[in-house]
Chain A
Amino acid sequence: MAATSTSMDAERGILAGLLRRPPAVAGLVVLVVIVALAIFASQVMPYPPGQLSIRSRLQGPSLLHLFGTDEFGRDVLSRTIHAGRISLAVGGTVVVVSALIGVTLGLFAGYFRRLDPPLSRLIDAMMAFPDILLAIALVAALGPSAVNVVLALGIVYAPRVARVVRASTLVIRELAYVEAARALGVPTPVILVRHVLRNLASPVMVQGSFIFANAILAEAGLSFLGVGVSPDIPTWGTMIAMGRQFMDQAGWIMWFPGVAIILSVMSLQLLGDALRDLLDPRLSRTT
């Protein structure tokens, strides 16, 4: 039985498949909690995230302030939850941007033989740079702002999407149902969308979860280096960057956002790994 025929079945069983893998379940649970906290931030934050209180500045974790307070007396728990909204939003938007660019590049490179050499060279050239260096260069060129950070990271991760999309497109292009559509005289743009794109969802999803994880990390890295989003916008990255000055006296200011980053990145990685195993037809045969 051809691998392609299993993709519908595979997707139906994705959730069931994930639930059979303990690491994936752990990842899923943590991710759901983090996302829920971000969505219901205003209901769960114990204090307004911007509320200053000079009297209670740099206090360690206590019952009053579970994660302690920062140099302005703001509640670190509330700020970590609030910052999560932005960090996750940045990560999610980066996934969308990189998917848009990457899918387009990969689809064209994979489907049109003439376009493949130049596009593949472009993709390889972009992948040759270390992610964070390329991101810094792009942000420097575009100017530091939240939108430009998203754009820069979207561009940085687009080649990863492009590469898997190209590889899948090269396979799908040769399948009989694409040839059948050509034999019917279906216009090429319709073939690309109806027959190729629709069968690319799985590899893009896998890459998407890895990119999500990387983007959260990279955004924090850029913020830490001072080339990320403006320090006034609370993200996990900016919190760590600001907290660094008080590392010795009040480490909790950066620990907790750091833990939030680690948890979300790890859960996304675990999920991505499980998805990749599940959707890989060679592996799913044996499970």
Chain B
Amino acid sequence: MTIAVARDVDQAPATPLIEVRGLVKHFYAPGGRIVHAVEDVDLTIGRGRIVGLVGESGSGKTTVGRTLLRLIEPTGGRMSFDGTDVFALSAREMRQWRRRMQIIFQDPFSSLNPRLTIRAIIAEALDTRGYAKGRARLDRTVELLELVGLSADHASRYPHEFSGGQRQRIGIARALAVEPDFIVADEPVSALDVSIQAQVLNLMEDLRRRLGLTMLFISHDLSVIAYACDEIVVMYLGRVMERGSSRDVRIAPLHPYSQALIAAAPVPDPSRRRVHVPLGGDIPSPIAPPSGCVFRTRCPKALPACAETVPPLTDVGQGRFVACLRVGAGGVSL
């Protein structure tokens, strides 16, 4: 908690590293139907900050991460990265650009090629940084392995010789090898044993502080997000429901969906005044999202008006934004 407060004080009013406006991603399902995976998402990530993206399975978190890195092409929207319009780069320019952004995957088992040694996996990343084969590259490989808590003699082994947590560390080393400014961490610990999760989270926190990384941290687990992030963006069915500082959203969620998520989070926190909101049913299909507010079909506080218009993400002051008809200026529930 003290760390989180210190961060807020340190925050410089410089231009954010990443500004995403109106991001849209549609997939095409068989029969010409459109999957509305991401609709009109805005994101702002300041330098050296970690923004958490949270939401149920299927809310479009991974899709946001992948489109930001242009691993899949966005359907619409703009993204400015350090002043450059990334979505407008040509395929060739993009290849050069890639080393500035990296991704850490959820599944530590499919994220490493089983045929390559750890050395070869790291070498592939170092290649893009122009490290020629030889001494320097070897030294750098060892340096990276040590940075993530592994050692030089791990380099000649194959991925199957490692545990999930170790593999995740290797994935982190690979991402760091290109010295990126920005990392998307897509549920980096949710596939790991709970006992290992904390270790990997600590490692990431440590690296962030030492390397000044900027991160988009994706998770469906609010307790993980709360621990790791400065700011939280709550997503539901492709849209942003609420956005604010980690502390605010955790302690006093304004959107009924955030309230439900927090109520469901497993972390016991006696200081928190729990707002119990039962969240029944499943997330609707993104092929036919509800009209108006996408959350209204499961919202305990829905009004007839919620079906009419998509509530805009509204600034309610103190850096908080909420997309709910019932939340007015100052965060007052109407």
Contacts and interface: CB of A to CB of B under 8 A. Distances in A.
Interface of A: 1-2, 4-9, 175-177, 179-187, 194-195, 198-199
Given A176-B105, A179-B71, A184 B111 contact: no
A185 B95 contact: yes
B78 interface: no
14 contacts: A4-B114, A5-B110, A9-B160, A175-B110, A176-B105, A176-B107, A177-B111, A179-B103, A181-B124, A182-B71, A184-B98, A184-B99, A185-B97, A185-B128
Interface string B107-146: 1011111111000000011011000000000000000000
B159 A5 contact: yes
Interface residues of B, number: 33
Contacts of B94: 185
Contacts of B69: 183
A56 B179 CA distance: 82
B96 A8 contact: no
A148 B114 CA distance: 39
B258 interface: no
Nearest to A183: B103
Interface string B150-194: 000000001110000000000100100010000000000000000
B96 A185 contact: yes
A169 to B, nearest CB: 14
Nearest to A179: B71
B102 interface: yes
B98 A183 contact: yes
Contacts of A182: 71
Contacts of A2: 107, 109-110
A286 B35 CA distance: 37
A7 B114 contact: yes
Contacts of A187: 95
The 9 closest A-B pairs by CB, nearest first: A185-B98, A176-B111, A2-B109, A176-B105, A185-B95, A177-B113, A5-B109, A198-B115, A176-B110
B233 to A, nearest CB: 22
Determine which residue in A1, A9, A177, A182 has the highest number of CB atoms from chain B within 10 A of its CB, and name it: A177
B158 A184 contact: no
A116 to B, nearest CB: 15
Nearest to B105: A176
A234 to B, nearest CB: 42
A75 to B, nearest CB: 48
A199 B114 contact: yes
Contacts of B71: 179, 182-183
B78 to A, nearest CB: 21
Determine which residue in B113, B127, B159, B160 has the highest number of CB atoms from chain A within 10 A of its CB, and name it: B113
Determine which residue in B97, B101, B109, B112 has the highest number of CB atoms from chain A within 10 A of its CB, and name it: B109
Contacts of B110: 2, 4-5, 175-177
Contacts of B66: 179
A6 B160 contact: yes
Contacts of A1: 109
Contact of A5 (B101, B106, B160): B160
Contacts of B178: 184
A134 B106 CA distance: 48
Contact of B128 (A186, A194, A195): A186
Contacts of A186: 124, 127-128
B111 A5 contact: no
Contact of B114 (A5, A181, A184): A5
Contact of B112 (A177, A184, A194): A177
B114 A180 contact: no
Contacts of B99: 184-185
Nearest to A196: B113
Given A185-B95, A185-B128, A186-B128, A180 B115 contact: no
Given A180-B174, A185-B99, 17 more contacts: A2-B107, A4-B114, A5-B110, A8-B160, A9-B160, A176-B106, A176-B107, A180-B105, A181-B124, A184-B102, A184-B124, A184-B125, A185-B97, A186-B124, A186-B127, A194-B113, A194-B116
Given A182-B71, A184-B125, A184-B178, A8 B103 contact: no
